[in-house]
Structure 1
Amino acid sequence: MTTWITICDTCKRDDWNEAHHSRPHGEDMAELVEQHAQGRDVKTRRVSCLMGCKHGCNVAIQAAGKLTYTLGNFEPGAEAAAAIVDYAEMHAQSDSGQVPFRQWPQGVKGHFITRHPPLPESDES
């Protein structure tokens, strides 16, 4: 299964203002994540709003049949983008999507917001 990094390209951190920023922080983060993901075992896509506005620079790490994670509160920078892609690759290599804490890149620690179980494979519960 392909692990996707879904990046909110409309996120604005608390310090965003029209006078100093020409575009949302999410666009900056999306470009950086896309660059770091090139040639790696993950795919990226952008969406306009993950509804995590209080957490600025949100991403979701997801794949069919696996746990989904939402991460946020990132400064849009190369180190954060690299950590997100590294974590997503570990998610891709995991059967369930769960990555042991001791393996998490330092740059994602403290940035987890939600975890969602995979959807059932059938309509039966």
Structure 2
Amino acid sequence: MTVTLHVCTTCRMGQSIPDDEVRPGARLLEALQAEGAPDGVRIVPVECLSACDHGCNIAISGPGRWSYVYRGLNPDEHVADILSGVAAYAATTDGIVPWRDRPVIFRKQSLARIPPMES
């Protein structure tokens, strides 16, 4: 089953950014796409994850799995860790990656954990 990595393209990282400049969230999306999605993962842009005060934000979800929202991510520093964390998430059946197997940014920068939808 495919896992989705949602990337907020409107995130400003708390900066004042003119409307005609590329926002950090869009830069994060571009960097993730340039590296390429892990097997079983698709990268999808979204316009807002409603966590605007927290910097660049992502959400990961998959059928029958817990979903997560992560905050405060940096397009210049966290791309490899994001992709590693999403790959570990995709390898689970329930979305729960053991604590020590998560990248540090996934341990410390989790904003929300959402239970799977019931069918």
Q: How does the TM-score come out when normalised to structure 2?
A: 0.90
- Give the aligned residue type for 1:26: G
Query: 3-state DSSP class of the match of 2:93?
Result: coil
Structure 1: distance between partners of 2:52 and 2:90:
27
Structure 2: distance between partners of 1:63 and 1:104:
17
Structure 1: distance between partners of 2:98 and 2:16:
34
* Aligned residue number for residue 5 of structure 1: 5
Q: Max radius of gyration: which structure?
A: 1
**Larger strand share, 1 or 2:** 2
Structure 1: which 5+ runs fail to align?
none
Query: 3-state DSSP class of the match of 1:109?
Result: helix
* Aligned residue number for residue 110 of structure 2: 112
How big is each residue's C-alpha offset from its partner over 1:23-75, in whole Å with a ceiling of 9 and x where there is no partner? 2111001111112234x211100011111101121100110110000001112
Q: Report if the CA contact (8 A) 1:3-1:89 is conserved.
A: no
Q: Percent identity?
A: 29
Q: How does 1:32-47 map to 2 (within 5 A)?
A: 32-38=31-37, 40-41=38-39, 42-47=41-46
* Aligned residue number for residue 74 of structure 1: 73
Shift in Å, 1:87: 0.6
RMSD (CA atoms): 1.7
Structure 2: which 5+ runs fail to align?
none
Matched residues, number = 118
Structure 1: distance between partners of 2:33 and 2:105:
17
Q: Report if the CA contact (8 A) 1:80-1:108 is conserved.
A: no
Q: How does 1:23-102 map to 2 (within 5 A)?
A: 23-38=22-37, 40-41=38-39, 42-77=41-76, 79-102=77-100
